[in-house]
Amino acid sequence: MVIVGAGQAAAALARALREQGFSGDIRMLGEELEPPYERPPLSKQVLLEGRAPDALWLLDDDARLAQGVTLSTSTRVRQIDRAAREVLTDAGEAIPYETLVLATGGVARRLPGLAVDGRRVFELRTLSDALALHTALRGACRVLVIGGGWLGLEVAAAVRQQGCEVTLAEAASRLCARSAPPELSEYLLALHRDHGVDVRLGACALPALGEDGLTLAPDAQPYDLAVVAIGLAARDELAAAAGLATADGVLTDCSGATADPDIFAIGDVARLCASSDGAGLRLESWRHAETQARLAAAAIVGQPLGYDEPAWFWSDQFGRLIQIAGLPTPDLELIEAEAGEKPLWRYGRGGEVETVIGVDRARDVRLAHRTLPSLASRIAGL
């Protein structure tokens, strides 16, 4: 077993394979310096505190030993040779596989004309990005966050909590427009404005980098630094070059299997449940990476399972826990709304609830999660 990528999905896959009785060799190849770690804390605790908590690490030395995983960090795979059934690394090593799993995640999208330099302009995908941004914030007063999706909002909250003035520019007319219904967008807007974030909607910000910082017309004062958080592109280039079908993600069935029976894709890079009838869906969420790893492991050991759970996502902003159970697609109607300090919304069709969203309503959302339709059935209906 060769796993390309050493992030969350890769670590979850190694664990699931052993739990499900896989006894072969597992070789994990990751281009980052560090062994696998959790990314959600990067835009929360790590950005606030400037250090990696112990709970960040997913596959420490003991776990690697116990699971019999051979991990090579700082090792980038540059090619898959499907005919020879091997992968080639940047260092020129050819590593044979019987089964290959692509868990390569994604890369932060960049703004043309605004280079990420780690000095004035930042992005946030890796532990080193988070630590570098935390350090730069010590000398910053005015910060521009570009992108009002989940990552941009979490960064804006963490930066504001450190006392900086924060402007958040979002090109769309509402926050998290691609992944949240209007009621949640409204809630997030009020939350950020109440905490003093200058949220600008319908604003395509492209600051100019000069001697005194970043200038953004018509603002008189320059910004000390900017964080670009405008989404993620799947790292599917290895698969595409090897002749596998891709479309912003590697196309797989609901268990992560590609058209090549020896190759799977899981986590942020996979566009799952793709078929001749449907485009499938690529999801970027912690829970989804865990679930896909479990399903791929089951398929690899010959006991395939269906994607039997609803989607699940959470975010932390200004001490508020926002949880989404189910897939909040635009075709759903608002069935019920509980307003107040801790709102809850239920969405569905024909009176049947398919998605529940709550703020500081962990118990209610967890209970609802058990009753919602599975992700596979939701994708089939899209």
Ligand X SMILES: Cc1cc2nc3c(=O)[nH]c(=O)nc-3n(C[C@H](O)[C@H](O)[C@H](O)COP(=O)(O)OP(=O)(O)OC[C@H]3O[C@@H](n4cnc5c(N)ncnc54)[C@H](O)[C@@H]3O)c2cc1C
- Contacting positions for ligand X (CB under 6 A): 4-10, 29-32, 39-40, 42-43, 76-77, 103-105, 124-125, 151, 235, 238, 267-269, 284-287, 289, 313-315
Tokens of 49: 């505190």
Neighbouring C-alpha atoms within 13 Å toward the C-beta of 359: 18
Shortest distance (Å) from residue 297 CB to ligand X: 14
Query: At CA 265, angle to CA 2 and CA 289, rounded to 5?
Result: 105
Which residue, 124 or 216, is less far from ligand X as judged by CB?
124
Shortest distance (Å) from residue 248 CB to ligand X: 14
Cα–Cα dist 229/152, whole Å? 5
Shortest distance (Å) from residue 124 CB to ligand X: 5
Which residue, 169 or 293, is less far from ligand X as judged by CB?
293
Which residue, 2 or 332, is less far from ligand X as judged by CB?
2
Q: By Cβ distance, which residue is nearest to ligand X? A: 7
Q: Can you give 5-39 as a three-state secondary structure string? A: CCCHHHHHHHHHHHHCCCCCCEEEECCCCCCCECC
250 forms beta bridges with: 246, 270
H/E segment holding residue 234: strand 232-234
Cα–Cα dist 152/228, whole Å? 8
Which residue, 43 or 185, is less far from ligand X as judged by CB?
43
What does the DSSP assignment read for 254-313?
Answer: TTSB-SSTTEEE-GGGEEBT--SS---B----HHHHHHHHHHHHHHHTT------S--EE
Shortest distance (Å) from residue 37 CB to ligand X: 8
Which residue, 222 or 307, is less far from ligand X as judged by CB?
307
Shortest distance (Å) from residue 230 CB to ligand X: 13
Cα–Cα dist 46/311, whole Å? 26
Shortest distance (Å) from residue 277 CB to ligand X: 25
Burial readout 335-368 (b: 16 or more C-beta within 10 A, e: otherwise): beeeeeeebbbbbbeeeebbbbbbbebeebbeeb
Which residue, 170 or 268, is less far from ligand X as judged by CB?
268
- Rounded to 5 degrees, φ, ψ at 335 are -95, -40
Decide if 191 contacts 225 (C-beta within 8 A): no
Shortest distance (Å) from residue 43 CB to ligand X: 4
Which residue, 216 or 232, is less far from ligand X as judged by CB?
232
Which residue, 337 or 362, is less far from ligand X as judged by CB?
362
Shortest distance (Å) from residue 276 CB to ligand X: 25
